[in-house]
Chain A
Amino acid sequence: DTAVSQTPKYLVTQMGNDKSIKCEQNLGHDTMYWYKQDSKKFLKIMFSYNNKELIINETVPNRFSPKSPDKAHLNLHINSLELGDSAVYFCASSQAGGRPGELFFGEGSRLTVL
């Protein structure tokens, strides 16, 4: 069973479009994250949700809107896509209350904006 699953795995779209990436975890964790890996393979946190509450919003443009309908799901919606949004987006989850425990990552969603 996949612990953290993301869909879609690949996404190719035109500039200006709106797209969503979905994430689900079956680990029973209470905290979920979105990380972005750029073309230089550098990983940076974007958002963190704890029990459906937004905890971290790391200076991400407001075109990016995360939504957590429940503890097991964290979706990422991106409006008005730009070329610079091309990257691999990773969802992750952990269970350690308010402190960072061991993070488990999904396989990533590769977004290409043309």
Chain B
Amino acid sequence: KQEVTQIPAALSVPEGENLVLNCSFTDSAIYNLQWFRQDPGKGLTSLLLIQSSQREQTSGRLNASLDKSSGRSTLYIAASQPGDSATYLCAAGGTSYGKLTFGQGTILTVHP
């Protein structure tokens, strides 16, 4: 049974800092790894999708890496801004139809 853990549970940083969010999963037989952002009272916005054959994906100030063998993924946010404040969720995609296993999330607060 896949289990996904995110560390830290919460993070508060000053604006401008570079930061790393960690995600680990117990079953390395994943199809993909997806990072989402959730704002309070809102749905999930897909940030990055890494297929199992890939090592990393980049979008703007975001970079996500995937190491299947060690069961880890990291989300790197460069030059953080107050608008980045949200909950960040990682989810491991299994071999079943769309069965994502989610971590519990990292609550990020970027203060001016």
Contacts from A to B (Cβ < 8 Å): 4, 31, 33, 35, 40-45, 48, 50, 55-56, 58, 90, 92, 94, 98-108
Contacts and interface: CB of A to CB of B under 8 A. Distances in A.
Q: Which of A4, A40, A103 has most B Cβ within 10 Å?
A: A103
Given A100-B94, A102-B46, A108-B43, A45 B89 contact: no
Interface residues of B, number: 24
Contacts of A103: 34, 44, 46, 91, 98, 100
19 contacts: A4-B43, A43-B91, A43-B102, A45-B99, A45-B100, A55-B97, A56-B99, A58-B99, A90-B43, A92-B98, A94-B98, A98-B97, A100-B93, A100-B98, A102-B34, A102-B46, A103-B46, A103-B100, A105-B44
* Interface residues of A, dominant DSSP: strand
Nearest to A50: B97
Interface in B1-60: 31-32, 34, 36, 42-46, 49
A100 B2 CA distance: 15
Interface in B35-93: 36, 42-46, 49, 87, 89, 91, 93
A102 B87 CA distance: 19
Contacts of A99: 31, 93, 95, 97
